Amino acid sequence: MGRISGPLLDRIDLHIEVPSVPYQELAARQDGTSSATMRTHVQQARDVQMRRFGGEGQRLNSRMNSRQLRKFCVLDQECQTLMQTAMESLGLSARAHDRILRVSRTIADLEGSADIKHPHLSEAIGYRSLDRKLWAR
């Protein structure tokens, strides 16, 4: 991790650690979410995004510019407070702020929510785990 620069990490949307899977989960007979089900959820979210950006010349949340972020990623007061706390406590950059908004908009789309809510924003902030580790040094 010490070899990865902050500006490079800023350009990566999702930072997650993947722990090893316990044997009990590997040996379990129940299936997780099927690829077909996951494909359906993703396609529904992409359809929402295509409708959102119909006349905007793009189709994906990941490509939103700053004007589109202000238009499509409006945060209520509770979310604004959470974002401010995260920015200040984690020392996040403006680029990380925008990436968190894009990811939270996508999480909301996957859940079928027209608005970004606290859980969506909280989850998106949680995906910035490498920022937290660099900040803690």
Task: Answer yes or no: is 100 within a domain.
Answer: yes
| 52: containing domain | 35-136
SS3 128: strand
pLDDT tens per residue, range 13-49: 777 777 788 888 888 777 778 899 999 999 999 999 9
Rounded Cα distance between 77 and 117, Å, is 10
Task: Answer yes or no: is 51 within a domain.
Answer: yes
Our count of domains for the chain comes to 1
pLDDT tens per residue, range 48-100: 999 998 877 778 999 999 999 999 999 999 999 999 999 999 888 899 999 99
Rounded Cα distance between 16 and 127, Å, is 6
Task: Answer yes or no: is 65 within a domain.
Answer: yes
Q: State the number of CA atoms in the 13 A half-sphere of 44 facing the CB.
A: 13
Closest CA relative to residue 74, chosen from 114, 111, 112, 40? 114
Q: Which two tokens stand for residue 84?
A: 């401010």
Task: Answer yes or no: is 11 within a domain.
Answer: no
Task: Answer yes or no: is 8 within a domain.
Answer: no
